[in-house]
Amino acid sequence: MKSIIRKAVSVSAAALMLSSAAIQVNAAENITGTKTVEYQFNKPYLNINVDGGNLDLSEVDFSLKNSDGEIVAKWVGGAEKFSEVADGLYDVSKMKSGEYNNFNKLPWDKFDKTELQNQFPSGFYALNYEPGGIHAIFLNDCIYPTSNVSFVYRNVDDLKTGETMTVPANTVVLWADEAYKTNGDDYSLFWLNNEDNDRVLRETFASSAGKATEYSLPAGTYGLCLGFTSGAGVGSTDFPVYDKPQEYVQIKFNMKDYMRFVQLDDDLNFVKDMFGHECICPTRGDKSDANRVCFEYTSGSVISAPIPDESGDVKIWIKADDLTVLFHNTYDTPHGFGGGTSDSLLIPKTILNLKAKWEYPTDGLTLYNIPAGDYTVEVDSTEYVLENNTIKVTDTKDMQSADVVLKKVEDPSSSETSSSETSSETSSETSSSEVSSSETSSSEVNSSETSSSEADSSDTDSSDTTSSVTDSKTTSSNSSSSSKTENKNSATNPSTGAAAGFAGIALIASAAVVVNKKNRN
């Protein structure tokens, strides 16, 4: 008997530190949606139950064979786990919980992170994610059924205006609101420094009022600074220039709702309190006030300088495949106070809770990672036979079940005794029936017309039995009653004889079934 099994290794429930995640603390967030999606990416697993009724299975050995006749698992009836399983198979019979340790030993199908990340490039996988709290970032591709894994992504679908823009390679874009033509702000500007800290680009926002202006620069990382035409400024922040074209989308949002560290009053003014001096810096309307403020948003290699409308809504450009947006502002007052703020835009996030499907076995024995194919459960005994013992495992990820029935083989000697008794009883009944038939025939032979009619009917009706034909021939020969009776007793009654014949065949077939089952073992 061919065997490819090894000692079974059950999945342990011992505690194990989660080494596949890095702990992070959530900053302030703008969560606008939470969804739950069921994912299933495990491998096939099979649950086997053996029903022996009241039989004692504690000493009965079972095995599971594949279509090649190889034993892939062994167990003793009533055991809580397999005694041996083939390499590559895993005994998960006692798995009752979704602890990380229960699953890290199983060969899960690799979860394709790129499916969601391509759709939502800014997203990340986290464990036990709670907005504003502490969570663990998933670092590998193994996500387990009850690990409480979430995919958190920035969602700008509701913010998009429908406008798009392609920025060529080696290009910087400045886009400024048309209000810069009339709002008196001719002082706000930006500049870029290269790695040697040399200034390579300097432009006012007013120079691009109502349009997007392109500037050519070699690909690389630059330092972005904001300031005023007077020379005051603040910086710097890393600013990328790409060597390939990049896609951008325009979004619209309210400044009050999407800022963390910058406060706006009801009139949409930046309010600064420096050493007891309150500075009111307007963001819209006339910006030629003594308290000057410069502010913009950067995403990729595009700088957006918006002006809020009466409701506080602004439009900016963001990189389509990276929704990270940084906000910068700097201010200057006649009192000599100045400063600046950098912040990331609170783009709304959606939490997609991934609930991996896994059905825990409640009874029987369960093999994980069993290949699709045909299998047979066999019992190592001549005292028992199995029913429903052929199993077809498919490539489904749902748990498959097989309910096998164990029965005791009947004693052959008992079967033969029963057959002999049945044969004797049948023979007795046949003799009695023949006598009755003979007497009936003798009493009815008074009418030759009737006998002749019966003979004709016998010849005509193909469904009549042989006994009718025999009676007809006996009557037409004008034999005596006693002679007929003697002849009838010596002949076999066709109807009862056929029944006895079938009974004999049934007994022979039954014996063949028992032999076949025994030979199979």
Give the alpha-carbon dihedral of 108, 114, 116, 117, to 10 degrees: 130
Same domain, 323 and 372: no
Tokens of 188: 């706000």
Instruction: Give the SS3 label for residue 241.
Output: strand
The rounded mean pLDDT for the chain is 76
Q: What is the DSSP letter of 388?
A: S
pTM higher than 0.95: no
Same domain, 270 and 192: yes
Owning domain of residue 451: 412-520
CA distance 213 to 206: 11
Same domain, 427 and 338: no
Confidence (pLDDT) at 15? 28
Q: pLDDT tens digit string along 271-317?
A: 876 666 678 889 999 998 888 899 999 999 999 999 999 999 999 99
Same domain, 392 and 454: no
Same domain, 260 and 204: yes
Reference 78, options 102, 57, 93, 105; nearest CA is 57
Q: Provide the sign of the torsion angle of the four alpha carbons 433, 438, 443, 445, taken in this order.
A: positive
How do 365-368 and 45-51 pair as beta strands? antiparallel
Q: What is the DSSP letter of 206?
A: G
Same domain, 342 and 356: no
Same domain, 149 and 272: no
Confidence (pLDDT) at 102? 74
Same domain, 168 and 301: yes
Same domain, 65 and 120: yes
Same domain, 314 and 384: no
- For residue 19, count other CB atoms closer than 10 A to its CB: 10
Same domain, 117 and 240: no
Same domain, 429 and 333: no
> Which of 296, 329, 347 corresponds to the end of one domain?
347
Please report how the helices 466-476 and 448-460 are oriented relative to each other, as an axis angle in degrees rounded to 10: 140
User: Prior bond to 236 cis, omega within 30?
Assistant: yes
Contacts of 386 (CB under 8 A, 6+ apart): 377, 378, 379, 404, 405, 406, 407
CA distance 385 to 182: 96
Q: How many domains does the chain have?
A: 3
Confidence (pLDDT) at 6? 59
> Which of 389, 407, 425 corresponds to the end of one domain?
407
CA distance 72 to 391: 13
Phi, psi angle pair for 26, to nearest 5°: -70, 135
Confidence (pLDDT) at 2? 64
Q: Which residue positions in the chain have pLDDT lower than 70? A: 1-28, 98-100, 110-111, 138-147, 232-234, 273-277, 335-338, 411-521
> Which of 382, 407, 432 corresponds to the end of one domain?
407
Q: Provide the sign of the torsion angle of the four alpha carbons 202, 205, 207, 211, taken in this order.
A: positive
